[in-house]
Amino acid sequence: MQALAAASKTVDCLKVVHSLHCYFLLVGDFNMPIIYEVDRVRDGNSFATRRVDAIQKGNVVFTLLASFQKGVQGFDHQTSVMPLVPDPEQLLSMEEIRERRLTDPNLPRSYRIKVASKSFVPWPIEIKFCEPSSRTNQTKSPPSLRYWFRAKGKLSDDQALHRCVVAYASDLLFSPVSLNPHRRKGFRSTSLSLDHSMWFHRSFRADDWLLFVVVSPTAFMGRGFVSGEMFNSKGELVVTVTQEALLRTPKTPNPAPVSKL
């Protein structure tokens, strides 16, 4: 989000991002500042291209290539169909789900205590899941996820801001979907984003409800692939997203040697 915001500030205000491709090169340090260096690759009448390097401790930890376009009239079609899901007003928020997990007598006491012991910091993005969460049962869940989301609070009319917010939201619950078919009791894993791409098809408001439909068609050689489509409430496809992530199971520490004496 920050890299896209930095790039957006260097282009003509009539141009907005229509696609971005980024690579996560090194693990960053949350406790250290990051410098975003923008390279003005190209400025044309209709398009502009920017490259952004995120630099930390003198190393490039992340790089973004983004293309911006001035609005024009053109061909218009859509074959993707928004799935039938409950309206967001009919669904529980993440805060409401957590509250129910804390008080539901049908859930094991040990699970309720575990939920209560975890710190809960609300996200700036409001999320409402379209399917019940599978975290409380031990069945393998399908490699897909559907949920509504929107920014909390009213945003300005700046389309660049709305696209930055959606870029942030797109990575919150994305790559872990490729782990769903492998979840089981006691399952542990780690994931690390390798690359992330987005295509912005139509204008939208990030403070209105958007439906994010995520699927993971494959995982292989320690890499999981996910793709997603975002629809507005009218069923218009506004954004397409893809990502590949590194998937690993934590290494089991070697047992301490036992004396034979």
Give residues with Cβ within 8 angstroms of 233, minimum separation 6: 208, 209, 210, 211
Task: Kindly name the residue from 8, 178, 216, 243 that is annotated as catalytic.
Answer: 243
User: Which one-letter DSSP state was computed for residue 178?
Assistant: G
Annotated active-site residue 156? The verdict is: no
Instruction: Give CA angle at 122 (208, 25), nearest 5°.
Output: 85
Q: Which of 56, 93, 144, 193 is catalytic?
A: 193
The residue with tokens 């949920």 is 147
Helix (H, G, I), strand (E, B) or coil at 222: coil
- What is the identity of the amino acid at 88? P
Per the annotation, the verdict on 171 as an active-site residue is: yes
Residue 243 is a catalytic residue: yes
The active-site residue out of 171, 197, 207, 227 is 171
The Cα-based distances of 139 to 131, 134, 162 in angstroms read 14, 7, 37
Does residue 198 contact residue 240 with C-beta atoms inside 8 Å? yes
What are the catalytic residues? 171, 193, 243
